[in-house]
Amino acid sequence: DVVMTQTPVSLSVSLGGQVSISCRSSQSLVHNNGNTYLSWYLQKPGQSPQLLIYKVSNRFSGISDRFSGSGSGTDFTLKISRVEPDDLGVYYCGQGTQYPLTFGSGTKLEIK
Amino acid sequence: EVQLQESGPGLVKPSQSLSLTCSVTGYSITSNYWGWIRKFPGNKMEWMGYISYSGSTSYNPSLKSRISITRDTSKNQFFLQLNSVTTEDTATYYCARGQGAAPFAYWGQGTLVTVSS
């Protein structure tokens, strides 16, 4: 299975600040078709996860441009700029390149 | 707008079967892919499997032969059955729908299943 390693486990940020979350995969996430199926999700308190980013850097419908994804191969980053109170929760990366699909262990974002 | 809603028993005894239903509105399950994911106490998330628009299935090998995902297209529902459960199967279970390159674009609200005698 592809192991997804997220860092940090948790972080605290001031409103209006910027944060980065790292996600590393144990194998390259480049599919045979040339696409890289790396997604980011946010689970807000008391809610189900929501898709933020797919295929490394594509924002899902309705997602603010304050969220941006980057990376390639095995190293990926989610950046959140101008952090707002509604951004708190647990962020997960997930890979869809190889079966079984796997997720990172999560990064908890707290607001200072 | 697609909506997904999980339902089923919140408590299952060890060695019994866990059965959940995902009811879908606003979109036909004969299109796209439909999956089950669970989140364990703590933050660990596990993809369990999916059923496709054609009815084909794919399962996480970690669940071996315990899992089955089926559907009823007339009711626009799909189902999860997990056999021989143990306390380690205690989790919040989510159904989700894929879209294009995103395997889990839309999620249900989740249902907590506790395995306990």
> pLDDT band at residue B100, thresholds of 50, 70 and 90?
confident
DSSP state of B43: S
* Predicted pLDDT at A106: 97
Q: Is the pLDDT of residue A22 over 90?
A: yes
Which tens digit of pLDDT belongs to each residue from B74-91? 999 999 999 999 999 999
* A96–B60 C-beta distance less than 8 A: no
Residue of B nearest to A90 (CA): B43
**Where does the pLDDT of residue A112 fall: very low under 50, low under 70, confident under 90, or very high at 90 and above?**
confident
- How confident is the model at residue B63, as a pLDDT? 96
For residue range A38-70, list pLDDT tens digits in order: 999 999 999 999 999 999 999 999 999 999 999
Q: Does the pLDDT at position A76 exceed 90?
A: yes
Is B76:B25 a contact under the CB 8 Å cutoff? yes
Asked if B100 has any chain A CB less than 8 Å from its own CB, the reply is: yes
Closest among B17, B22, B31 to B66, alpha carbons compared: B17
Q: Which of A51, A103, A108 sits opposite B45 (nearest CB)?
A: A103
Q: Is the pLDDT of residue B101 over 90?
A: no
How many Cα neighbours within 13 Å face the side chain of A34?
Answer: 0
Which residues of chain A lie closer than 8 angstroms to B93, CB-CB?
none
pLDDT digits (tens, 9 = 90+) for B58-73: 999 999 789 999 999 9
User: What is the overall mean pLDDT for chain B?
Assistant: 96
Q: Strand ranges (DSSP E) for chain A?
A: 4-7, 10-13, 19-25, 38-43, 50-54, 58-59, 67-72, 75-80, 89-95, 102-103, 107-111
